[in-house]
Amino acid sequence: MEPDLSVEFAGIKLPNPTILASGILGVSGEMLIRVSRAGAGAVVSKSFNRKGREGYRNPSFIEVHGGFLNALGIPNPGMEEMREEVETASKQRVPVIASVFGFDAEEFAESAMMGERGGAIAVELNVSCPHVKEVGVEIGQRPNVVAEVTQTVKSRVHVPVFVKL
């Protein structure tokens, strides 16, 4: 008999507590489906914003003494296309958390609403990326801005909102 690994997280029932973190495996709906079918309890999309970003030119992943270093620059196709990717996975009953970022509270909110429209079960506010000026960690280090972003997003969506510090 298989053990019951299900958990309830912010009112969301998941089959197990493993969650794919936001990153390169979360770029397409098909990949989110694949990771879910491999056993993840939920998956987080690649972080996206209103218009999208090209990201940094290669090499974006290099070996350094003692490990590896990456800096992608939050590449993404924008909220319209990412809504479609979230929707593709959600239609296959994959629990998707939409990861969003923005240059201001309004952009965070618009992106979050688009993720929810695609069927996301929750929204992650990415305020921790150290690679892009004026977003990510620059926001995350200013509690008043994190509060404004969080309040704005929470007032616009009807799913749980998490802040990724």
Structural domain containing residue 150: 7-164
Q: What is the pLDDT of residue 34?
A: 98
- Whether the pTM exceeds 0.75: the reply is yes
Mean pLDDT by 10 residues, the chain (165 residues): 94 98 94 98 97 83 88 86 98 98 96 99 92 76 94 99 95
- Residue 129 falls in the annotated catalytic set: yes
**127: in domain:** yes
Q: What is the pLDDT of residue 62?
A: 86
CB 60 within 8 A of CB 73: yes
**1: in domain:** no
Q: What is the pLDDT of residue 131?
A: 66
**123: in domain:** yes
**139: in domain:** yes
DSSP 8-state assignment for residue 53: B
User: Residue 157: which CATH number?
Assistant: 3.20.20.70
**2: in domain:** no
**154: in domain:** yes
How many domains does the chain divide into?
1
**42: in domain:** yes
CB 20 within 8 A of CB 35: yes
Q: Which of 129, 135, 149, 153 is catalytic?
A: 129
